[in-house]
Amino acid sequence: MDLNGVITHVSRKNSLGIEYPSVTEKLISDFEYYFKHPKVKAIVLQVDSPGGSLTSCEEALKYLQKLKEKYPKPIVASFRSMAASGGYYISMIADKIYANESTLTGSIGVISQFFNISELMDKYGVKMYTIKSGRNKDSLSPFREPREDELAYWQDMTDEFVGQFTNVVEQSRGDKIKVNREDVFDGRVFSGKKALEIGLIDSIGTLHDAIKDAAEMGGIEDEEPYIIKKPKEKNDVFNLFFANISEAIKPKSSLPFPYDEIMSTKYIGVPMYIYIPNYNGVN
């Protein structure tokens, strides 16, 4: 099964207006299918995600943990090009993690972004009048300079949220991390090779390696284990047909990363477990 893209509860639409379940909804639905399937002995999760909404990641992981407790089955994660921030966070459900040497891994941290246009307003003589019920009701408004106490308040909240993230990592991999926590929990991403050295993953390997390992962990002795895939519903096949048409006719983005989805106004000021290139360092 796959975890692809930005993790949110927001349903997706293609250029033809066909709506798809959100990444979070699909993830939970897929896990439910494989956990409850009587013939599934182990689960392989392919991850290619920069993370996403803090609440979406948190709710998804908690639900998956309950499923795993009720239907105990080994889980092996296989990282593709990226398993960063919330993508790495949800991967803590796995008992073992594989990655490629070039996989961007980690970015353990929280980010919130706000824009400010107060100087631009001053330049053009634009004024904003705000009627508010309390001093902090317009906290970090883009129409005025932020106060120092506001920035400190939001930093404290960010520190609280990152504490939740690091606790999850500690519970899953605390005994495997081989370096000082300050060198890992500072938001940077690592190559897969470096992630192995410091203990963020267990092995460098391909999806085939992950499947073979999962089969052994599940007690499957067959040399080539049978792979069970969730069947597509009739509507899924119909939507896939039109999705392919949509992809063929829509203009191709020149951006190699879903900036449009991440930087949309609905996420301005929202704490995110997400890696955004050019905002995070790479080691």
Find the angle CA(251)-CA(268)-CA(125) to the nearest 5 degrees.
Answer: 100
Q: Where are the alpha helices (DSSP H) in the chain?
A: 23-36, 54-70, 86-90, 118-123, 148-173, 192-198, 207-217, 234-249, 259-262
The C-alpha atoms of residue 210 and residue 75 are separated, in whole angstroms, by 10
Strand partners, 189: 106, 282
Query: Rounded to 5 degrees, what angle do the CA atoms 263, 269, 273 make?
Result: 70
Helix axes 54-70, 148-173, angle to 10 degrees: 20
Lookup: tokens for 157: 């909240």
The distance between the two most distant Cα atoms of the chain, rounded to a whole number of Å, is 75
Cα dist from 160 to 12, 54, 130, 269, whole Å: 30, 12, 30, 16
Query: Is 85 a residue of the active site?
Result: yes
Q: Is 107 exposed, middle or buried (0-12, 13-18, 19+ CB in 10 A)?
A: buried
C-alpha closest to that of 56 among 80, 90, 84: 90
Distances (CA, A) of 269 to 58, 135, 229: 18, 18, 38
Of 56, 266, 50, 58, which is closest to residue 163 (Cα–Cα)?
Answer: 58
Given 36, 66, 137, 176, the catalytic residue: 137
The active-site residue, picked from 85, 91, 107, 141, is: 85
Active site residues: 85, 137
